[in-house]
A and B are shown apart, each in its own frame.
Chain A
Amino acid sequence: MMPCVPRPERHLIAADPQAVRDLLLALEAGTQMAALTPDSRECALLVLAEALNNVVEHGYPDAVGWIGLLPVPGRAGLAWRIVDAGRPVPELAQLRVAMPDGPAEGGFGWPLIRALTDEVRLSRRRGWNILTLRMRRAEGVLPCQDGVSAGAVA
């Protein structure tokens, strides 16, 4: 009998908001994030939501498209790679990382991603955007809860 080894989660979805929602629900119930604390899991799912929604909104603004998500070596559930063939993402340095000042209806996505990650890597290869995200652990002082970490990357 084959040993029962969990297969890595790999996902390929249509680039639309319903597919993103369905994927996040699947991740929440999946094995990769099962060992995380609720805080860590919620923060990781929020980061993935923001990154995936960015692809839908900015990568394929007027077109159908696909998004791939796969775990990368590292802490289970906290290290992910997002791949898409949409429009090139601007250089990370050009993306606004400061939270909007005062009431705003947008512009929170990248600041939230940066506040809740230790590492964000972006590359463009063969027409694909490859975004690697390593989440900040939420245990202990709960850095993702108090907003202090938001200042560390500004």
Chain B
Amino acid sequence: MELAVSQHDGVTVVQPAEARLDARAAVVFKDRMKHVIEAGQDRVVLDLSAVVFLDSSGLGAVVAAMRFLRTGQVLELAGLTPAVGRVFRLTRMDTVFTIHPGLDDALRAAA
């Protein structure tokens, strides 16, 4: 599970390069998110627009990444594809995160 990381004005953007955030990818994803968040700016946006499949292990890894946030730092989501958005809604984890329709919306939004 490779993560592409880019820095914008006040925002660190993380983009998984693979289409599946599943039980196979979850452990590595969480480990890499830890490093990205620890080195990240106060807003970290996880752009999931390339992810077409998310299972509960992948969901758990996204939620677990919040543990690595320092005080004042936030993790937001963007670009949920229909199948990924469904998992967030069914599990009500859509209420836990700020979710932007797309990355551009996330970058325009104020923290």
Chain A interface (Cβ within 8 Å of chain B)? Answer: 17-18, 20-21, 24, 38-39, 42-43, 45-46, 49-50, 53, 56-57, 99-100, 102-106, 108-109, 111-112, 115-116, 144-147, 150
Task: Sample 16 A-B pairs with CB under 8 A, ordered by A number.
Answer: A17-B22, A21-B23, A46-B83, A46-B87, A49-B55, A53-B23, A99-B92, A102-B96, A103-B66, A105-B60, A108-B59, A111-B91, A112-B56, A112-B91, A116-B90, A147-B92
The residues of A that contact B57 with a CB separation of less than 8 Å are 53
B24 within 8 A of A: yes
B83 x A49 contact (CB < 8 A)? no
A42 x B86 contact (CB < 8 A)? yes
| Count class of interface residues, chain B | 20 to 34
Q: Could you tell me the distance in whole angstroms from the C-beta of A56 to the nearest C-beta in chain B?
A: 7
The residues of B that contact A104 with a CB separation of less than 8 Å are 60, 63
B86 x A145 contact (CB < 8 A)? yes
- B90's nearest neighbour on chain A, judged by CB, is A147
Contact residues of A: prevailing secondary structure: helix
The residues of A that contact B64 with a CB separation of less than 8 Å are 105
B89 within 8 A of A: yes
The CA-CA distance from A43 to B55 in the complex, in Å, is 11
The residues of A that contact B87 with a CB separation of less than 8 Å are 46, 112
The CA-CA distance from A20 to B93 in the complex, in Å, is 24
- Nearest 7 pairs between A and B by C-beta? A108-B56, A17-B24, A105-B60, A17-B23, A42-B83, A49-B55, A105-B64
Q: Could you tell me the distance in whole angstroms from the C-beta of A54 to the nearest C-beta in chain B?
A: 10
- Interface positions, chain B 86-102, Cβ under 8 Å from A, are 86-87, 89-93, 96
- B93's nearest neighbour on chain A, judged by CB, is A103
- B88's nearest neighbour on chain A, judged by CB, is A147
- A38's nearest neighbour on chain B, judged by CB, is B82
